[in-house]
Amino acid sequence: MFTRAIIGRALAYTFLVVSSFIMIWPVLYLVLGAFTTDERFYEASFLPIPNKFSLEWLVGTGGFWQRAYQVTLLRTGCYLVVTLAVGIIAGYIFSKMRFPGRDKVFLLMLSGLVMPAILMILPQFILAARFPLAGGNNWLGQGGHGFINDWPVLFMYGWVPPFAIFLFKQNFDMLPNDYEDAAKVDGAGMFTIIFRVYGPLLRPTVAALVILTFLAIWNDFLWPSVTIYTNSDWAPISFLIPNADGNRISANPAVFSIFLRVMWPPAAVYFLLQRYFVQGLVASGIKG
């Protein structure tokens, strides 16, 4: 005889199975579609099941894809280093050091989190376009194009990450000062304390920020689309998704293969670090 608990559990598992299939179906469709042929794809109705896995659209990606990968990896690596370095140092300063106006400066810095990023596009664009003595500009920022359509515009913003600083500051608040006091007795300096004493204790937070920063920079489309729109040499990979060698792709297996090439690096990073992801974010909200 079925009890109410058994029926409720069965309904819960049924709901989870159906929901999981609904969420995994688009990804499965994309992966299978990327490996199949045009003929087999258009014959399919529910899922494009290939009779043999074709690498037709996955080989010979072309030089522009290699260049886009290099640009995106360079930009992502740069922002990862900056975000982690600035975040952990500033988080330590705001948490462990005492100086006048510390809390006010921290709140001012946090105000950047509540401002929508889209509102900053126009001021940042104008600043990049009118940067003095860049791109033909005079010392007043006039006469040229500044950094627009040139590689520095991809790297000149985001050097002070408020979310990373907040996350590290919350984690430093949880850690006791005994570690720092013992390190100072042994003659350790500030950077030794940050990276060698506290650093190993912050691995979950570092992993969470690596995932979030990697996804944000790798998938960045808006900023390159308004600043590098005609400079294909420095176009990130997200900017080149709709096109291949300047021609719009219409074959669905080709489109799926492009998406697969773009999505596997962030997916790999997430699966490698996902066991730390939730731990790093949850720990930042616990006060010691």
- What CATH number is associated with residue 139? 1.10.3720.10
In a domain, 164, yes or no: yes
Residue 280 has pLDDT above 70, yes or no: no
Instruction: Please indicate, yes or no, whether residues 114 and 228 belong to a single structural domain of this protein.
Output: yes
In a domain, 288, yes or no: no
pLDDT: which is higher, 44 or 64 = 44
Distances (CA, A) of 227 to 135, 148, 232, 239: 13, 5, 11, 11
Burial class (CB in 10 A: 0-12, 13-18, 19+), 62: exposed
What element of type H or E holds 244?
strand 243-244
pLDDT: which is higher, 286 or 85 = 85
In a domain, 165, yes or no: yes
Domain that holds residue 13: 1-56
The answer to whether the predicted template modeling score (pTM) of the entire model surpasses 0.85 is no
Instruction: Please indicate, yes or no, whether residues 36 and 126 belong to a single structural domain of this protein.
Output: no
Instruction: Please indicate, yes or no, whether residues 176 and 192 belong to a single structural domain of this protein.
Output: yes
Instruction: Please indicate, yes or no, whether residues 39 and 121 belong to a single structural domain of this protein.
Output: no
Confidence of residue 67 (pLDDT cuts 50, 70, 90): confident
Give the pLDDT confidence of 199-248 residue by residue, as tens digits: 888 888 898 899 999 999 998 888 888 888 778 788 888 776 665 444 45
In a domain, 36, yes or no: yes
Neighbouring C-alpha atoms within 13 Å toward the C-beta of 80: 16
Instruction: Please indicate, yes or no, whether residues 27 and 88 belong to a single structural domain of this protein.
Output: no
Instruction: Please indicate, yes or no, whether residues 36 and 120 belong to a single structural domain of this protein.
Output: no
How far apart CA 38 and CA 18 sit, in angstroms, is 29
Instruction: Please indicate, yes or no, whether residues 151 and 261 belong to a single structural domain of this protein.
Output: yes
Residue 287 has pLDDT above 50, yes or no: no
**Count of domains in the chain?**
2
Instruction: Please indicate, yes or no, whether residues 9 and 28 belong to a single structural domain of this protein.
Output: yes
Instruction: Please indicate, yes or no, whether residues 94 and 193 belong to a single structural domain of this protein.
Output: yes
Average pLDDT of the chain?
83
